[in-house]
């Protein structure tokens, strides 16, 4: 082990000057951090998780661009498959995307009987759509993604994720999810899934009360929302705010769940699950289990989600339970 480590360090030293030259010569023109922390590696550094960095070794950079909203990068990693990065933050890797996409989708959709109309806010990679499409009861899937470059890049580099766009029930709108929801007819959706980036930056509005009010308005009575809600290890303060906001807006159930995702900061991500006033939703006990046999043949079998892990996702470590439970309904 020591030998291999030293070898990596040695390579690191030797490549340093070369990489400095590359940066100066404009080989990392989008500032995506390639080769600049560990040479030949992508390192995720952010004030959202100060003092730590997760790095993946790059085999090949496949795409770099800058849209109207963000920097977009795709690279082939040596051990996590292809990786999608937005503004320097890993959004998905082929190796572990199953955990996030399956959980953010089936936690809400398996908690209600016969979901028919679903809205996805964000989720431009198509992975949530792929998961929604497993539910045969669904008639209409709307998606509102702000950045067309994310959609196009996913279709080109992540066909097994973007396969979700092929479902004929899907209608894609490129635009602002906040505005889309405000304009949506009241009581339209059985479920709204918010697949957003972190709440510091462009997605901040998606974690605030006015947005949650729009979501609640667009849901039918007893309809459900699921939104990504950070990590209990890193952002307990943000989570407490989200739970408080949701509790003021949603008059049904308000629960927090989490799952393991190795390439997200702290190796996990949480979800906020809320329901509107109406038929009671018991998020912890799925009433609409999804069996592998039921999933469409065009879609790969479920890799991560099952009914047991659905219920387990709501069990919190004591330090988080003490802070969250008092705020849940």
What is the per-residue binding string for a copy of itself in 227-266, x denoting contact by CB under 8 A? ----x-xx-----------------------x-xxx-x-x
The residue among 33 and 122 lying less far from a copy of itself, judged by its C-beta, is 33
What is the per-residue binding string for a copy of itself in 27-56, x denoting contact by CB under 8 A? ----x-x--xxx--x-x-xxxxxxxxxxxx
Site for a copy of itself in 89-128 (CB under 8 A): 95-96, 98-99
Site for a copy of itself in 148-187 (CB under 8 A): none
Residues annotated as catalytic (active site), given as ranges? 195
How are strands ordered across the β-sheet holding 219-228? Answer: 170-174, 140-145, 117-122, 189-195, 219-228, 268-275, 254-260
Is 26 among the residues that bind a copy of itself (CB under 8 A)?
Answer: no
Is 316 among the residues that bind a copy of itself (CB under 8 A)?
Answer: yes
Least distance between a copy of itself and beta carbon 255 (Å): 13
Which tokens is 264 given? 């997200």
Name residue, tokens 């929604």: 132
Pick from 88, 241, 251, 323 the residue near a copy of itself by CB under 8 A: 88
DSSP letter (8 states) at residue 166: G
Q: How many CB atoms lie within 10 A of CB 255?
A: 24
Pick from 182, 321, 323, 327 the residue near a copy of itself by CB under 8 A: 321
Is 304 among the residues that bind a copy of itself (CB under 8 A)?
Answer: yes
Is 293 among the residues that bind a copy of itself (CB under 8 A)?
Answer: no
Pick from 27, 156, 183, 319 the residue near a copy of itself by CB under 8 A: 319
The residue among 262 and 279 lying less far from a copy of itself, judged by its C-beta, is 262
The residue among 142 and 230 lying less far from a copy of itself, judged by its C-beta, is 230
Stretch binding a copy of itself (CB under 8 A), from 113-121, 163-171, 215-223, 310-318: 310-318
Which residues touch 125 (CB under 8 Å, ≥6 apart)?
A: 84, 91, 92, 150, 151, 154, 158, 161, 162
Which residues touch 27 (CB under 8 Å, ≥6 apart)?
A: 35
CA atoms within 13 Å, Cβ hemisphere of 107: 34
> Is 112:222 a contact under the CB 8 Å cutoff?
yes
- Exposed, middle or buried, 79 (CB in 10 Å: 0-12/13-18/19+)? exposed
Pick from 72, 73, 74, 87 the residue near a copy of itself by CB under 8 A: 87
Least distance between a copy of itself and beta carbon 155 (Å): 25
- Hey, is 148 helix, strand or coil? helix
The residue among 39 and 108 lying less far from a copy of itself, judged by its C-beta, is 39
> Is 276:250 a contact under the CB 8 Å cutoff?
yes
Pick from 62, 172, 178, 302 the residue near a copy of itself by CB under 8 A: 302
> Is 108:225 a contact under the CB 8 Å cutoff?
yes
Is 73 among the residues that bind a copy of itself (CB under 8 A)?
Answer: no
The residue among 149 and 216 lying less far from a copy of itself, judged by its C-beta, is 149
Q: How far apart are the C-alpha atoms of 113 and 174, rounded to whole Å?
A: 29
Phi, psi of 327, deg, nearest 5 = -100, -10
Binding-residue total with a copy of itself (CB under 8 A)? 73
The residue among 83 and 129 lying less far from a copy of itself, judged by its C-beta, is 83
Q: What is the dihedral of CA 110, 274, 299, 287, to 10 degrees?
A: 0
Least distance between a copy of itself and beta carbon 316 (Å): 7
The residue among 31 and 210 lying less far from a copy of itself, judged by its C-beta, is 31
């Amino acid at each position: 082990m020591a030998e291999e480590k030293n070898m990596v360090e040695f390579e690191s030293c030797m490549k340093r000057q070369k990489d400095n030259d590359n940066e100066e010569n404009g080989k990392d023109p989008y500032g995506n951090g390639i080769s600049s922390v560990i040479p030949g590696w992508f390192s995720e550094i952010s004030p959202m998780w100060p003092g730590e960095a997760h790095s993946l070794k790059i085999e090949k950079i496949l795409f770099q661009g800058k849209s109207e909203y963000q920097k977009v990068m795709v690279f082939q990693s040596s051990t996590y498959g292809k990786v999608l990065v937005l503004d320097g933050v890993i959004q998905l890797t082929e190796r572990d995307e199953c955990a996030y996409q399956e959980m953010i989708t089936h936690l809400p959709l398996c908690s209600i009987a016969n979901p028919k109309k679903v809205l996805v806010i964000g989720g431009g990679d198509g992975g949530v759509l792929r998961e929604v499409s497993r539910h045969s009861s669904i008639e209409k899937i709307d998606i509102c993604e702000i950045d067309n470059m994310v959609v196009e890049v996913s279709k080109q580099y992540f066909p097994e994720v973007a396969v979700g766009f092929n479902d004929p029930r899907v209608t894609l709108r490129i635009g602002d999810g906040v505005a889309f929801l405000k304009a949506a007819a009241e009581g339209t959706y059985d479920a709204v899934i918010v697949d957003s980036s972190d709440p510091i930056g462009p997605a901040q509005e998606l974690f605030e009360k006015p947005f949650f009010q729009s979501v609640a308005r667009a849901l039918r009575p007893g309809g459900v929302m699921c939104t990504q809600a950070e990590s209990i290890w890193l952002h307990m303060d943000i989570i407490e705010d989200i739970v408080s906001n949701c509790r003021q807006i949603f008059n049904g159930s308000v629960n927090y769940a989490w799952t393991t995702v190795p390439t997200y900061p702290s190796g996990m991500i949480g979800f906020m699950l809320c329901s509107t006033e109406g038929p009671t939703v018991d998020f912890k006990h799925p009433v609409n289990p999804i069996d592998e046999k039921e999933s469409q043949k065009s879609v790969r079998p479920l890799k991560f989600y099952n009914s047991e892990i659905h219920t387990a996702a709501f069990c919190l470590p004591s330090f988080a339970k003490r802070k969250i439970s008092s705020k849940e309904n």
